[in-house]
A and B are shown apart, each in its own frame.
Chain A
Amino acid sequence: MEERAFDTGRRPVWCPGCGNYGILIAVRRALAELGLRPEEVVVVTGIGCHGRISDYLKVNAFHTIHGRVLPLATGIKLANPRLTVIGHAGDGDAYAIGLGHLPHAARRNVDITYIVHDNMVFGLTTGQVTPTTPLGVRTKSTPFGNPERPLNPLLLALASGATFVARGFSGDVEHLKELVKQGIRHKGFAFIEVLQPCVTFFNTYKELKEKVYRLEDEGHDPTDFEAALRLAQREDRLPIGVFYKVERPTFEEAFAHAMNPPPALRRLAPPDLSRLLESFR
């Protein structure tokens, strides 16, 4: 498969220099290099600038409502585990309105990949604060500075039992592509937080470029949970790469009784209810 097999041919409407371009290219290349066919992949996108990605990725797609990427993607995967399911969400989508689903998806370990486009600001609604906006930053909704400390998504994912926790940078497309490939190949819930600038409302490109470094350059054992917790809290520099990875049974495996074939591939037939009716006699 070639990268362009995953291109719908539509011209993205993102601002020039937007971090979403890097993520889009990384995902297309990852899908191509994994040799996946467009029809066996589903992307689920939320509301926000990131959500447009389903117009540009030539695969099956569900552009859902704000904050519900994870339950939507979970339902798809359970109904047909043969599909490769990738969720895209913004930091507002994933960490504000939809945060309640993240710990559960992580502990459940459903076999999906969750890519969070984190630009630390609401872009599509023209620049309001999100849960990852740094303390004190002025936005349209915090004209006197953000009064809240930002959330640490990596710590949250680690604490919730995610079996694959990674961070990428939209400005390092090749590295991000590798993370996405690893995330898709990982059997279980793969959480990939992607740092990206919003060139219009919170341009962090220069700062991110300076602070980001590859975990593998300084050596990190991704089976070391304690080290992952430590690295996730680092603020002077921002490591990117796989923080933590472990194999655990997936959620789908708990429903083995319903998977032969899975619900989506079942031939429709009247069920035999006679045994169930016995308890009402």
Chain B
Amino acid sequence: MDSGEVYVLVAGPAGAGVFASSVIIGKVLLRQGYHVFVTNEYPSLIRGGQQWALVVASPSRPVYSHRRRVDVLVALDRGALLSNIGRLHERAVALCDAADATGDPRVIALPARDVVREEGGPPVAVNTVLVGVLFGMLGGDLETLKGVVRRQFRSREVAELNARLAERGFHLGLQLQGKAPARLAPRGGGGDELLLDGNSALALGLLAGGLTFFAAYPMTPASPILHFLAEVQRDLGIIVFQPESELAAINMAIGAAYAGARAAVATSGGGFSLMVEALGQAAMTETPIVVVNVQRPGPSTGMPTHTAQGDLRFVIHASQGEFPRIVLAPSNPREAYELGCRAMNLAWKYQVPVIVLMDKFLAESYWSTEALPPLRPEEGSVWRGEGGEPYARYRITDTGVSPIAFPGTPGVLVYANTSEHDEYGFGTIDPKTVRAMQEKRFRKLSAIQREAESEGVKTYGDGAIAIATWGSTTMVVREALRELEGVKLVQVVWLEPFPRESFAREVGARRLLIVENNMRGQLASLVREHVLREPEGFLGRYDGRPLDPEEVVEFVKGFAARG
């Protein structure tokens, strides 16, 4: 196989440890100096139903996304073997317990369950044996494997048991090196690298941005953000809490932010729908708030555990009335971390709602990521009692941003009002005041637009064809770029306000293609609106799966061939 890359698919029924195995495999490869990517697919079930996780590793180049290729299938039961063997190429192999094996010559039957029984482990531990077999076969490092396995379990006893199981498997695997479709070449290094998923990265970014209050109602695929923050709240001295609904979550967060906390919420599209009324409330009261929407396919319940980029136009327009807002879309964990922090700082700088648009593919996939840079929370414009004037929460200023004071500040009363109001917060219907307040709120937009222009667009490569993307689809296209020549990838990071000048400048006279994980081309429609340009081609995928790099390559080559 080319350049030492390896593609391992772990498959099994829900509850069999598919994801844990994939993360162990990914971390071992990371420790051995590989670039790693891990992604998964599963149904919305607790037990039963097949799921899989793909681990991609390269010794020589960053791995941006999955591919259709599978070199080794680790099948945790017979169903997993039967439903995934069709994905193997001719020289690939499938590892499974002898009882699950079929007559396919690529299937390697192993006494995995016997090993678990001999070591006195629970039946579910068969995955650890097979992971051991995998690394023995590929020529991995046993001590690295055992170290990663041990750290995966909290109980010392269970950790040692699994380390033994991995070692037994490893020795079985050593006998199979002749059949290995790939061979690892440990490179050392990788010491500072993390194997980071999008959800955790985003949560870390919110924390770096000064998060002190987080409320969320469970909703796949955003729940891991809640789980992560709930777990670390005592270490960091912050409030993390699951209230009765998304309505309660965002209203609590807005109350907390009004009082002076740095607050955020996270949900998926359905929960975001419930939050829309309060989004307008945050805008009207100019209370800073960060709302994370981890997209999944809609409409309605859609497919809870799958991926999509169908909420873009929704979050840009959500709520009645007109107000400035910021919408940011990271493409990978590094950006999720940076934009999570940036979202907090922007919300407090401009006192507008900031929405971070993620998607399941980004949220629940792992990328090897270089050590995260330290980031700082920025306070924004806080009232410090200057000027000698009585405090007015909505003081009309040149920038449109009114210094914010928090209740409890001596000599100050803070009146936030969802009804149209005057500078002091008192309700008004006076046309002159109403105009002045609406114009004040929108005056922030010119500074926000400048920020969007300066950091809202990223590019990769160059050529006569431009491909525009946003969010995690960017990673798929970056992967596809390896097989494409003459292509410039233009990633839109700020979706609202739209960085129209930067986008137009980067695309220039190139022919423009747009690739998105939705049906109708929502970025494409923004390009029409803001850049007055009709894209020459659009590739959308809307079956709940991320695009495959292979189909992007095919699409671009087909377009280029047509001339």
The chain A residues found within 8 Å of chain B, CB to CB, are 8, 10, 38-40, 42, 44, 52, 54-55, 58-65, 68, 70-80, 82-83, 100-101, 104, 255, 257-258, 260, 263-266, 268-271, 273, 275-277, 280-281
Are B413's CB and A62's CB within 8 A?
A: no
Say if the beta carbon of B406 comes within 8 Å of chain A. Answer: yes
Report the separation of the CA atoms of residues A73 and B200 in the bound assembly, to the nearest whole angstrom.
29
Report the separation of the CA atoms of residues A75 and B251 in the bound assembly, to the nearest whole angstrom.
7
Say if the beta carbon of B407 comes within 8 Å of chain A. Answer: yes
Are A266's CB and B411's CB within 8 A?
A: no
A58–chain B nearest beta-carbon distance, Å: 7
Supposing A75-B213, A79-B256, A101-B244 touch, asked if A61 and B408 sit within 8 A by C-beta, the answer is: no
Say if the beta carbon of B98 comes within 8 Å of chain A. Answer: no
> Residue on B with the closest CB to A103?
B244
Which residues of A sit under 8 angstroms from B426, Cβ to Cβ?
Answer: 8, 10, 55
Report the separation of the CA atoms of residues A82 and B235 in the bound assembly, to the nearest whole angstrom.
23
Which residues of B sit under 8 angstroms from A265, Cβ to Cβ?
Answer: 260, 408
Report the separation of the CA atoms of residues A269 and B261 in the bound assembly, to the nearest whole angstrom.
13
The chain B residues found within 8 Å of chain A, CB to CB, are 27, 30-31, 193-196, 200, 204, 207-208, 210, 212-213, 215, 232-239, 241, 243-245, 247-249, 251-263, 277-278, 280-281, 285, 372, 374-379, 406-419, 425-427
> Residue on B with the closest CB to A97?
B247
Supposing A65-B418, A75-B252 touch, asked if A270 and B234 sit within 8 A by C-beta, the answer is: no
Are A72's CB and B251's CB within 8 A?
A: yes
B425–chain A nearest beta-carbon distance, Å: 7
What is the predominant secondary structure among interface residues of chain B facing chain A?
Answer: mixed
Are B259's CB and A65's CB within 8 A?
A: no
Are B239's CB and A58's CB within 8 A?
A: no
A281–chain B nearest beta-carbon distance, Å: 6
Which residues of B sit under 8 angstroms from A64, Cβ to Cβ?
Answer: 251, 281, 418
Supposing A39-B409, A277-B194 touch, asked if A72 and B252 sit within 8 A by C-beta, the answer is: yes
Q: Among A44, A104, A271, point to the contact of B255 (Cβ < 8 A).
A: A44
Supposing A10-B426, A268-B377, A281-B27 touch, asked if A74 and B252 sit within 8 A by C-beta, the answer is: yes
Are B408's CB and A68's CB within 8 A?
A: no
A207–chain B nearest beta-carbon distance, Å: 32
Are A73's CB and B255's CB within 8 A?
A: yes
> Residue on B with the closest CB to A54?
B415
Supposing A44-B255, A65-B277, A78-B252 touch, asked if A276 and B377 sit within 8 A by C-beta, the answer is: no
Which residues of A sit under 8 angstroms from B285, Cβ to Cβ?
Answer: 62
Which residues of B sit under 8 angstroms from A270, Cβ to Cβ?
Answer: 208, 210, 374-377
Which residues of A sit under 8 angstroms from B235, Cβ to Cβ?
Answer: 275-276
Which residues of B sit under 8 angstroms from A68, Cβ to Cβ?
Answer: 247, 251, 278, 281
Supposing A60-B407, A257-B233, A276-B232 touch, asked if A65 and B212 sit within 8 A by C-beta, the answer is: no
The residue among B236, B239, B417 with the most chain A CB atoms within 10 A of its own CB is: B239
B375–chain A nearest beta-carbon distance, Å: 7
Supposing A79-B259, A263-B262 touch, asked if A276 and B204 sit within 8 A by C-beta, the answer is: yes
Are A80's CB and B245's CB within 8 A?
A: no
Supposing A63-B417, A100-B244 touch, asked if A273 and B258 sit within 8 A by C-beta, the answer is: no
